[in-house]
Amino acid sequence: MDDISTGALFALLACLIVISGYFSGSETGMMALNRYRLKHLANHGHKGAKRVEKLLARPDRLIGLILIGNNLVNILASAIATILGMRLYGDIGVAIATGALTMVILVFAEVTPKTLAALYPERVSYASSILLTILMKLLSPLVMLVNFITNGFIRLLGIRAKHGGDDHLSSEELRTVVNEAGSLIPRRHQDMLISILDLENVTVNDIMIPRNEITGIDINDDWKSIVRQLTHSPHGRVVLYRDQIDEVVGMLRLRESYRLMLEKNEFNKKTLLRAADEVYFIPEGTPLNIQLLKFQRNKERIGLIVNEYGDIIGLITLEDILEEIVGEFTTSITPSLSDEITPQGDGSFLIEGSANIRDINKGLMWTLPTDGPRTLNGLILEHLEDIPESHISVQVSGHPMEIVDLEENRIKLVKVYPCKDKDK
């Protein structure tokens, strides 16, 4: 070193600091990459992404290579800085060189390159992967030796090193990814993706048409009454039963019944029975994602939901499930949210007692409890623990509610105010 000029040593020291910054930035850039974007680009033939993906397949070796290079460079830089310090300031130059080199390395070889790499991980990683790939081949024996010693020490601590990692996402993690997509995915598409993920958390009971709202025809009615119901039915299929809904006969297809009656010139109840399909029953509590697959597998579009005693409690269609994903259709059997909720001038809302709580929460961005009753009527009755005899006011989950209209044992219309406490 005595034969090398001071200027040459300063130049060598500057080169070593640049190399140290390269290793530091490369490490941060590689670790800060979006692995799913990286995999996407690699699958589409991006050369830089392919190089980086290959290096990251064994992160222990990649980190070993970077740290070997970084430490060798920093140690050599420290030795050169010590020589320069002693040449310029004598013995006290060692302390001066140590302090100055520490500050220079922190600013120019650590903080600055790592910050830039964190801000632009793809640019840094794809460019640095070229040299890292070459160094990995050249220094492979040394890297493997260091990793062998390191992994052996880790095993002594009772830890098993896993390579490759687990890149699988849970439903909650995937939901976060979709929400964080921002403008990369249109808001409506984000809502649809989130709705698909939510299907497993929603059951058929949550979106079914309740038993008292099911449209059906009693086969024991007189023929004129049946014809009138057929003529005025807004649905393509109706439940056919005897005396009561639990004595279901079949699911009547109106178009098929008209075709048979005209074709055979037989306008009677027997023709209706021939046009009725076998009823498809669904156990209560079935998650929507499972029921969607069952509809597909069984080639069904409509089913009756039964409880543990075999009693019919509601009806659900394939369209109802699809509406949970893409939103309401104009041909929906159930009333739309706009039909059940009427905004008032004072900021309150007139809401039908039969309105589904989940629909209210989705439409008004509220957080009414959904772990109990499914309708607003049921929620208020559960809160009161009694059937009100007159118009009263209550507060449920922070929402002041005024019962406007009662019908027999059912709350028909409620005036609901937004929650005053935002934490509710």
Q: CATH number of the domain that 249 lies in? A: 3.10.580.10
Residue 47 forms part of a structural domain: yes
Residue 189 forms part of a structural domain: yes
Of 101-115, 174-188, 319-333, 363-377, the poorest mean pLDDT is in 319-333
Q: What is the mean pLDDT of the chain?
A: 89
**134 and 16 housed in the same domain:** yes
Q: What is the pLDDT of residue 162?
A: 63
**Which of 295, 326, 357 finishes a domain?**
326
Residue 250 forms part of a structural domain: yes
Is residue 73 very low, low, confident or very high in pLDDT (cuts 50, 70, 90)? Answer: very high
- C-alpha closest to that of 129 among 50, 20, 202: 50
Residue 385 forms part of a structural domain: yes
Q: Which range of residues forms the domain containing residue 220?
A: 202-326
**195 and 215 housed in the same domain:** no
DSSP 393: E
Q: Residue range 372-387: average pLDDT?
A: 90
The total number of structural domains in the chain stands at 4
Residue 403 contacts residue 391 (beta carbons within 8 Å): yes
Q: Residue range 48-67: average pLDDT?
A: 92
**72 and 110 housed in the same domain:** yes
Q: What is the pLDDT of residue 156?
A: 86
**284 and 260 housed in the same domain:** yes
The model's pTM is 0.67
**251 and 385 housed in the same domain:** no
Give exposure, 246-279, as e/b (b: 16+ Cβ within 10 Å).
Answer: eebbbbbbbebbeebbeeeeeeeeebbeebbeeb
**237 and 177 housed in the same domain:** no
Q: Residue range 280-309: average pLDDT?
A: 95
**232 and 290 housed in the same domain:** yes
* 349-352/393-396 β-pairing: unpaired
Residue 332 forms part of a structural domain: no
Residue 83 forms part of a structural domain: yes
**What is the rounded distance in angstroms from the CA atom of residue 100 to the CA atom of residue 211?**
81
**369 and 309 housed in the same domain:** no
**150 and 28 housed in the same domain:** yes
Give the count of beta carbons closer than 10 Å to the beta carbon of residue 360. 24
Look at residue 150 and tell me whether its pLDDT is greater than 90. no
**290 and 147 housed in the same domain:** no
Is residue 176 very low, low, confident or very high in pLDDT (cuts 50, 70, 90)? Answer: confident
CA 340 from centroid of its chain's CA atoms? 29
**270 and 387 housed in the same domain:** no
Residue 261 forms part of a structural domain: yes
CA torsion, ordered 206, 209, 212, 216, to nearest 10 deg: -150
Residue 73 forms part of a structural domain: yes
CB-based contacts of 269: which residues, under 8 Å, 6+ apart? Answer: 219, 223, 226
**251 and 353 housed in the same domain:** no
